Amino acid sequence: MPSTVIAKIAYDPEYKLLSVEFISGKIYYYKEVPPGVYLTLKMARSKGGFLNKYIKGKYEYESTEI
């Protein structure tokens, strides 16, 4: 199901780096995210809800804007 706030998600398994690009243009890079968490996010009905509950505040991150 498409997200109303997330434009794109990507994952680099070598570095366990999850990137989340929001519709606003802001991109967050979450570090040390296990592959299973990424796969579950990818399949989640509410990607924003999953991100808020299981990723934000649990993984170190950096952010940037396009």
Domain count, the chain: 1
> Distance between alpha carbon 26 and the CA centroid of its chain, in Å?
12
The range of the structural domain enclosing residue 48 comes to 6-65
CA 50, 51, 56, 58 torsion-angle sign: positive
d(C-alpha 59, C-alpha 40), whole Å: 15
Any domain includes 47: yes
Any domain includes 1: no
Q: Is 45 helix (H, G, I), strand (E, B) or coil?
A: coil
Any domain includes 17: yes
Minimal CA–CA distance to 54: which of 65, 64, 62, 43?
43
Indicate the pTM of the whole model. Answer: 0.90
Please list the pLDDT of the chain residue by residue as tens digits (66 residues).
Answer: 567 899 999 999 999 999 999 999 999 999 999 999 999 999 999 999 999 999 999 999 999 976
